[in-house]
Structure 1
């Protein structure tokens, strides 16, 4: 009888330990990055852009980040987008020197 009670308690505690371990591993995973789904069609003020990220999936896009921290997704094929990327890259290289 005592053996059954001990076995039940061991199984109970293993179950609780497993639940806490699973919750901890799921909760400790990093959040997914924000990705572009829709693209803006408006041309942005290049002077207000401080950074960008390239994206391939789910759509090919450039995510510009403004001085206020706003993220705006645009098509990478537009001429003004390529100009903005070059300007941001130049700023990065001059700051690094």
Structure 2
């Protein structure tokens, strides 16, 4: 009887430890809230863009964020996208000075 109770307690504590370890490792990884699945084909007005994020999974894309907080995904291979990224980076650098 004592061995049976001890085995149950051991299994219980192993289960608690396992759940705690799995939860800790999963929550320590950063997860994206937003990710690009489809890409817009329209050229955006660069003046309205305030930020961007690059992503490679699930698709290679650039997510632009407008002054109003709207997120728009586009292909990073387009010339205007590269120009927009350069301008946003220049604006950020000017604000730091």
TM-score scaled by structure 1?
0.74
Deviations 1:11-68 (A, max 9, x none): 3542452354246326634452233221101111211100112223332221111112
Which stretch of the first structure deviates more once superposed, 56-65 or 28-37?
28-37
Distance 1:12 1:82, change over 3 A: closer
- Whichever of the two has the greater Rg, that structure is 1
Unaligned runs of 5+ in 1: none
Q: How many matched pairs?
A: 96
Structure 1 runs of 4+ off > 3 angstroms? none
**TM-align CA RMSD:** 2.5
Unaligned runs of 5+ in 2: none
TM-score scaled by structure 2?
0.74
**Using the alignment, how far apart are the partners of 2:62 and 2:12 within structure 1?**
50
